[in-house]
Amino acid sequence: MKQPIKKVVIAGGGTAGWMAAALLKKVLQQQIEVELVESDDIGIVGVGEATIPPIQVFNQYLGLDEAEFLRETNATIKLAIKFENWKVPGESYYHTFGAPGTQLGFCPFQHYWLQAKQAGMPQSLWDFDLNYLCAEQGKFNIVKTPNPLYEMPYAYHFDSGLYGKYLRKIAEQAGVVRTEGLIEQVFQHPISGHITALQLKDGRQISGDLFIDCTGLRALLIRKTLGVAFENWSHYLPANSALAVASERFAQTLPYTRSIAHKVGWQWRIPLTHRNGNGLVYSSDYLSDDEAYQTLMGNLDSKPLAEPRKISFQTGRTSQQWCKNVVSLGLSSGFLEPLESTSIHLIQSGIVRLLKMFPHQQISDTVIDYYNADSKQEFETIRDFIILHYHVNQRDDSDFWRDMRHMAIPQRLAEKIALFAESAAIFNDHNDIFRDASWLQVMLGQGIEPRDFHPAAKAVPDAQLLKVLQQIQQAKQQPLAQMLSHDEFLARFTRPS
Ligand SMILES: Cc1cc2nc3c(=O)[nH]c(=O)nc-3n(C[C@H](O)[C@H](O)[C@H](O)COP(=O)(O)OP(=O)(O)OC[C@H]3O[C@@H](n4cnc5c(N)ncnc54)[C@H](O)[C@@H]3O)c2cc1C
């Protein structure tokens, strides 16, 4: 249908809605009108506190001042996730945003590390990772260097409600119109089925050319109105419940998320400047709500600030994330559970994908098909990475972990695991936001020990290799002396000038 896109209507004002409103208006300016409708009665999901490094690009694009952003959202720095008890109870490993070692020769660092280990070197892979070294010591500072050896990528933990409010201020200043009200009815074109207007409880109608469904788990436009199917992934990722509760902050703020596996499911601990975010993610097929409550409240380590709140969900994705004139972003587009903090990133990449192919004159099937294929691939690669954590476990203390170990997994993931186990090789897949350093850390951390590695690493004489690795390890330690404690960094950096 030939219809120029002059007005975009965003249904929903959670993280997804305000991220979309702010960036669309920033990029397209007076080329489009943007109106956002949200219901104060419904409110937002109110979780989603951990991010991954590309959020920095999003914030920079909006022109946010980093110190102001940290202040406005009670944010802290995230260098990694520490996975505790995932392989077996009592053991832990980090998935950092850094990369271990450095490029040494033909093959990636892990091959040289494996050779050195065989020659007697005791250091773990993580001893060569600056993110890990800082995380362990609770240190941080912004490292600006052209030397890749000292790169230290980071993300944030923040209060998602405050982030939404902050983005709202920016979006409204840029000209986005906010309308408060409950959407009760959705009108469609009788022939094309395109959405033409939203009707609010008080009778007001909001019409538009392109609609963005940011109504969260309700998926009011894409699924309820247009009837797009939900692709259920609970056979891979059976978590369907979360209990979330805030607790008092600790004296020392960790620069990483803790992910603590329990007999069933896992618990997040996310440090903000004013409190800790905590939650237990579990499957109700394996754990009752009462047991979940006991597990969460018995493992808080600081005083709860409220009673836990239950959130129910289903893992999977909306099978067509763009249908007719509706694009779904955020929880309406799917949810993979929060294990690797990828939902806010998926919102970001959805907005960027939409902007790259923004249909100014008309919405074509070509554009829709490309958008859908690209986002499907992105969701699937993240899904596979999350399954990896659950599937490759050695726990024997519950049916949950045994079932995870024995479940059928996607072919691509099975091949990736087999290749690494056989040869220590990892190849980056198109559209996978998790690059080889991430896969490496989780595969090793979960207990896969490669049976072999690249011959190029074996070609280096042991004495020479050990010396080089020792030099790298020393070099990685060097910046630590100039680092501040995480709390000191936050206090200094966010102090208003
Ligand atoms: C347990 C859990 C933990 C999570 N942890 C993380 C994490 O650590 N990191 C991460 O990246 N992501 C995380 N997420 C995901 C993250 O919370 C979401 O991706 C993010 O908050 C975006 O939500 P949303 O904007 O899509 O939905 P919501 O926040 O639910 O917003 C929906 C909006 O739609 C409006 N609305 C709905 N229906 C109507 C109606 N009829 N009329 C008018 N308005 C309506 C609501 O008022 C609201 O404004 C987590 C999710 C869950 C469930």
Rounded to the nearest angstrom, the distance between the alpha carbon of 430 and the centre of ligand 1 is 27
Contact 417, 443 (CB under 8 A): yes
pLDDT range class, residue 146, cuts 50, 70, 90: confident
- Band (pLDDT 50/70/90 cuts) for residue 2 is low
Domain 7-47+159-232+315-363 annotated CATH 3.40.50.300: no
Q: State the pLDDT at residue 1.
A: 54
What is the residue whose two structure tokens read 């397209």? Answer: 28
Rounded mean pLDDT, 9-25: 98
What pTM does this model have? 0.97
**Using CA atoms, how far apart are residues 245 and 170, in angstroms rounded to an integer?**
29
Buried b (16+ CB within 10 A) or exposed e, 147-171: eebbbbbbbbbbbbbbbbebbbebb
How far, in Å, CA of 352 to CA of 431, rounded?
14
- In the reported structure, the alpha carbon of residue 403 is separated from the centroid of ligand 1 by a whole-number distance in angstroms of 30
pLDDT at 386: 98
pLDDT (tens digit, 9 = 90+) per residue, 221-249?
999 999 999 999 999 999 999 999 999 99
Angstrom distance (rounded) from CA 85 to CA 471: 32
Identify the residues whose C-beta falls under 6 Å from ligand 1.
12-17, 37-39, 42-45, 47-51, 160, 182-183, 214-216, 218, 220, 242, 244, 279, 311, 313, 330-332, 338, 341, 343-344
Q: Which residues contact 70 (CB under 8 A, 6 or more apart)?
A: 76, 156, 490, 493, 494
| Nearest atom (ligand 1) to Cα of 44 | 29
Active site residues: 78
d(CA 277, CA 257): 10
* Alpha helix segments (H runs only) across 357-429: 365-391, 399-406, 411-423
User: How many angstroms separate the alpha carbon of residue 330 from the centre of ligand 1?
Assistant: 7
Q: Mind listing the pLDDT tens digit for each residue in 245-278?
A: 999 999 999 999 999 999 999 999 999 999 999 9
Atom index in ligand 1 nearest the CA of residue 46 equals: 29
CB 1 within 8 A of CB 333: no
Q: CA Rg, the chain, in Å?
A: 23
Would the pLDDT of 110 be above 60?
yes
Q: What is the mean pLDDT of residues 198-206?
A: 98
25-29, 103-107, 384-388: range with lowest mean pLDDT: 103-107
Task: Report the percentage of the chain scoring pLDDT > 70.
Answer: 100
Domain spans of the chain, in order of start? 7-47+159-232+315-363, 241-253+263-312
- Residue closest via CA to ligand 1's atom 7 equals 48
- CA dihedral (249, 251, 252, 258) in degrees, to 10, reads -40
Q: Which of 95, 46, 3 is nearest to 324 (CA)?
A: 3
- In angstroms, the Cα distances linking 120 to 113, 462, 465, 466 are 11, 9, 11, 9
Residue 423 has pLDDT above 60, yes or no: yes
pLDDT tens string 451-479? 999 999 999 999 999 999 999 999 999 99
* Confidence at 312, pLDDT banded by 50, 70, 90: very high
Which of 73, 159, 278, 343 gets mutated to test ligand 1 (max ligand atoms within 8 A of its CB)?
Answer: 343
Say how many Å lie between the CA of residue 142 and the centre of ligand 1.
Answer: 30
Tell me the average pLDDT of the chain.
Answer: 97
Q: Give the mean model confidence (pLDDT) for residues 418-428.
A: 97
Residue 12 Cα to ligand 1 midpoint, Å, equals: 9
**Distance from C-alpha of 223 to C-alpha of 230, rounded to nearest angstrom:** 8
Cα atoms in the Cβ-side hemisphere of radius 13 Å centred on 327: 29
Residue 1: how many CB atoms within 10 A of its CB?
12
To test the pocket of ligand 1, the residue of 331, 341, 433 to mutate (highest count of ligand atoms within 8 Å of its CB) is: 331
Question: What's residue 108's pLDDT?
Answer: 96
